[in-house]
Structure formats: C-alpha cells, structure tokens
C-alpha cells in the first residue's frame, strides 16, 4: 500500500476539483473536445464522481473530480478521497482553490485511500497517486497517514496473532523506531508491583497479562496516554454470546489508537514528554478466572465488587490510570472500546469523550471539525455516582439497570484520577461499512483531533 505523496513530475495529470454549482462555468472554459467528452460521460461534478479526459492519442490529458455541494459534503467525510478511489492508476496534480486547512484534510483522505490490510491476502486499494500540493506539509500529512495505518493494522489483526505478546512487540517496534524507552511488567510481577486488577483480569489466559510503559521526550509538558489493550474479550465467566464475540479482536482498539497517536507525536517531534501506558490482557475462561462476586483491591486502594466479568476493561484501565495520576502530568487521556452503551448513544461514526476541562473541550472540538475526525462530548454526570457504589465495596464494575452505561463507566474511571485534565474517550475502533478514506475494519477515532488540539491544550510554542 502507498501512504506517501508521489514525487513531483511534469507528467502528472492535472486534476480539477469542481463543485456542482460551478461546473457549468468551468465546463464553458474548456476546449470543445473536453466538453463533449464530459457530456458523453454525463459528468456534472457530483460528489465522489471522477472522469479522465484523453488527448488525441488516448493518453490522459486532464481529470476532473466532483466535489458536490455543501449539503452533500456535510453527509460524509473526505470528498476528494471518494473521487480518488474512482481514478485509474497514475499520478495526478490537484488544481483547486481550497483553503489550506481543507486542502490538508483532503490530501490526507487521498493518502488513506491507499490503505489496505494485506497481511493475509492481497486487498484492493486505490492506486492513483497525488503530487503534494503547494502549501501542504507533506511530512506532517504522511506521518499522520502512517500513524492511522498502524492503528488500523493492529485492530484488524486477529487475536491469534495480536495477543498481549504481539501487542507488546508492536509497542517495542514503535519505541525503537522513534527512540523511546519501554518497560514491561508481566505476569506475577504485576502483583509485586501493585497492579492487582490487571493481573486478575488477565491471569486466566495462556499469554500472561502485562503493563506496557513507554516514554519519549525530555522537555515540555507531560502527556500520558492510557489505552485499553484487551486483545480478546470472551466476557470471562459471564461469557458473551457468539454474535457479540465476533468482533472482540478489536477490544484492544484503545491501545491501537494511543499507539497511533503516540507515533504522530514522536514522528512530528511535538515538544512534550510523552508516556504511554497499555494494560495488555486477554479476558479468558479457565479455572483461575476471576469470578462474579469477587472483590478486587485496586492499585489506588479502592475496592471493586465484580458484578460482571464482561466489564473488565475499566478494571485494567483503573490500575493504569492510578499509575498515570501518581506523576500529576499536565494531561491524562484514556482511550478504550469500553461500552456498547456509547454505540447506542452516538453510533459507530462518532468518538464520544468525557472531560471536566472546558479548555480541552474548546480546543478539541475546533480541531475535530478541522480534521474531519468527529467527537462528541458526554457528561461526567456526578449525580450518577451512586450507581457505581454497591455498598459492599467502594465501587461496582457493572451497575444494575443498564441505563447510562457509558457515563457510569466513565465515572468509574474518574475515581482513579485526581488530575483535573483527565479526558476519556469511549471509542468503537471499527468502521462497519467502507467509506471514503476509511476502509471497512479497524479505524482510529479521536486521535487526529486530539493531536491537532494538543498545542492549544498545552500552550505549546
């Protein structure tokens, strides 16, 4: 797959980006053979359409990509990518008056049409390549595209090849690539190092549970990213039905997303001190699996009654968040495929997030709009705190009733963090239907928006 811009060349075919409202005036300026060719094809500038006009020798003379209208573009993302996927193999040079910010987003979308998950079988992907337009930072856009590809590859890989050991190996590869340090606490050492809930959730699996701890940078504000790394979730003794288990290879989507975000930060040398914490486990069934009714004592000292072993993600995150909070970093962010309730609330396309810091909200939502990486703020609704307090222990991992499941999970996590900057994303990590620049399968959610927002959140130069 190609996730880079084509080298500049005189042979690149000019690609005109044309809206439906301006198509007639643009068409009127073209030579008659071009007009007749487009009329024959019925091209009108509709969103996602594309046409190549040949010269007298049958070679591509120019191409046209339909940009539709504002209403059509509002119904999706990456309209240029929708057209790019319809173009034949070749190198194209964009002719457009898009504003600089939109141009960066659209060119990123183009690069992402080149993504395919081909570890097990060759897959189709767009082979049309784009010369980087003037004013676009090619290094930045290519780094973001590669980071997104890393996230997708990790999520798309089946659990047999992406267990805790393989997830650790992926983190180590990234650390080597970017000059980061890494420490991993594994198996029984989790108990001696006081990560009891990570150990409890993962102890039934053949591959030992572990906590991955990666650091990079020695100056600037400290950013700590915590990603849920449940490499497969059977539900434990509260076994999931088969239909619900089918996509559980993606239950490490939070870990994959923070690794992608970390790659952006490190590759583009953001002036921060970065820490990435990933509790990597498999929630399996065996004789020593943790049980409904057990009461676990967390790293922070809070006790947790287990009312459902399928609510395990918040348990492993809790120990990792407690560790993150001990350093009082400038920003703590957790990302997790945590609850089905979040999907019921906002569907597969939006990344819901929780924070009490209005400064983060302002920066994040502005960036999300600009980066075509939509997010939606959900409330840390304090009146629901009583729902996660069972009485027999400090906390309940699976409150009865089923209402506000995403909110109560977020409130549970907040109990382990005193830092007022704490921000939590309850993501899906999966694109159920292929869309422009977003193939069916694993996908990053919220990472690009957060990366773009970090300079404002942290007052970076």
Catalytic machinery residues: 240, 314
Cα–Cα distance for residue pair 212/77, rounded to 1 Å? 34
Residue reference for tokens 């559980």: 248
Going by DSSP bridges, is the β-strand pair 229-233/273-283 parallel, antiparallel, or unpaired? parallel
HEC string for 54-119: ECCCCCEEEEEEEEECHHHHCCCCCHHHHHHCCCCCEEEEEECCCCHHHHHHHHHHHHHCCCCCCC
* Backbone angles phi and psi of 313, in degrees to 5: -60, -40
Torsion (CA) 433, 376, 329, 165 in degrees, nearest 10: -20
Residue 444 burial by Cβ neighbours in a 10 Å radius (0-12, 13-18, 19+): buried
In sign, the C-alpha dihedral spanning 282, 193, 177, 427 is positive
| Radius of gyration for the chain, computed over Cα atoms and rounded to the nearest angstrom | 24
Q: Are strands 273-283 and 210-216 parallel, antiparallel or unpaired?
A: antiparallel
Residue found under tokens 């089946």: 158
Element (H, E) at 280: strand 273-283
Residues 229 and 155: beta-carbon distance below 8 Å: no
Alpha-carbon distance values, 70 to 22, 75, 376, 401 (Å): 12, 9, 22, 42
Q: Which two tokens stand for residue 79?
A: 């309209």
Burial class (CB in 10 A: 0-12, 13-18, 19+), 241: exposed
What DSSP character marks residue 12? P
């Amino acid at each position: 797959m190609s996730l880079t811009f084509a080298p500049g060349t005189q042979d690149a075919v000019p690609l005109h980006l044309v809206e439906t409202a301006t198509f007639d005036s643009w068409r009127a300026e073209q030579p008659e053979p071009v007009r007749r060719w487009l009329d024959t094809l019925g091209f009108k500038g509709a969103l996602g359409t594309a046409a190549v006009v040949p010269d007298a020798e049958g070679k591509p003379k120019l191409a046209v990509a339909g940009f539709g209208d504002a209403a059509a573009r509002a119904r999706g993302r990456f309209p240029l990518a929708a057209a790019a996927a319809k173009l034949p193999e070749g190198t194209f040079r964009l002719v457009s008056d898009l504003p600089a910010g939109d141009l960066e987003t659209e060119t990123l979308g183009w690069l992402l049409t080149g993504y395919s998950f081909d570890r097990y079988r060759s897959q189709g992907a767009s082979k049309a390549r784009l010369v980087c337009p003037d004013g676009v930072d090619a290094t930045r856009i290519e780094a973001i595209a590669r980071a997104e590809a890393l996230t997708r590859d990790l999520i798309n890989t089946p659990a047999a090849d992406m267990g805790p050991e393989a997830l650790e190996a992926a983190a180590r590869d990234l650390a080597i690539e970017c000059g980061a340090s890494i420490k991993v606490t594994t198996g029984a050492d989790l108990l001696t190092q006081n990560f009891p809930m990570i150990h409890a959730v993962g102890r039934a699996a053949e591959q030992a549970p572990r906590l991955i701890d990666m650091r990079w940078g020695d100056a600037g504000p400290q950013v700590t990213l915590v990603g849920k790394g449940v490499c497969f979730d059977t539900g434990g003794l509260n076994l999931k039905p088969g239909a619900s288990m089918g996509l559980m290879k993606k239950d490490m989507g939070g870990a994959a997303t923070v690794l992608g975000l970390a790659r952006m930060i490190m590759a583009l040398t953001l002036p921060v001190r970065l820490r990435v914490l990933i509790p990597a486990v498999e929630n399996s069934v065996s004789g020593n699996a943790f049980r409904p009714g057990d009461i676990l004592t967390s790293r922070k000292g809070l006790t947790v009654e287990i009312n459902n072993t399928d609510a395990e993600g918040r348990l492993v995150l809790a120990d990792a968040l407690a560790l993150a909070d001990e350093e009082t970093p400038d920003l703590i962010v957790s990302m997790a495929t945590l609850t089905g309730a979040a999907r019921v609330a906002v569907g597969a396309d939006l990344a819901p997030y929780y924070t009490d810091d209005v400064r983060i909200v302002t920066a994040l939502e502005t960036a999300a709009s600009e980066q075509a990486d939509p997010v939606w703020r959900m409330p840390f609704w304090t009146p629901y705190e009583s729902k996660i307090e069972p009485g027999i222990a400090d906390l309940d991992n699976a409150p009865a009733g089923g209402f506000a499941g995403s909110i109560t999970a977020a409130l549970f996590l907040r109990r382990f963090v005193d830092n007022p900057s704490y921000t939590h994303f309850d993501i899906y990590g999966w694109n159920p239907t292929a869309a422009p620049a977003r193939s069916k399968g694993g996908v990053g959610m919220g990472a690009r928006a957060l990366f773009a927002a970090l300079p404002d959140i942290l007052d970076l130069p």
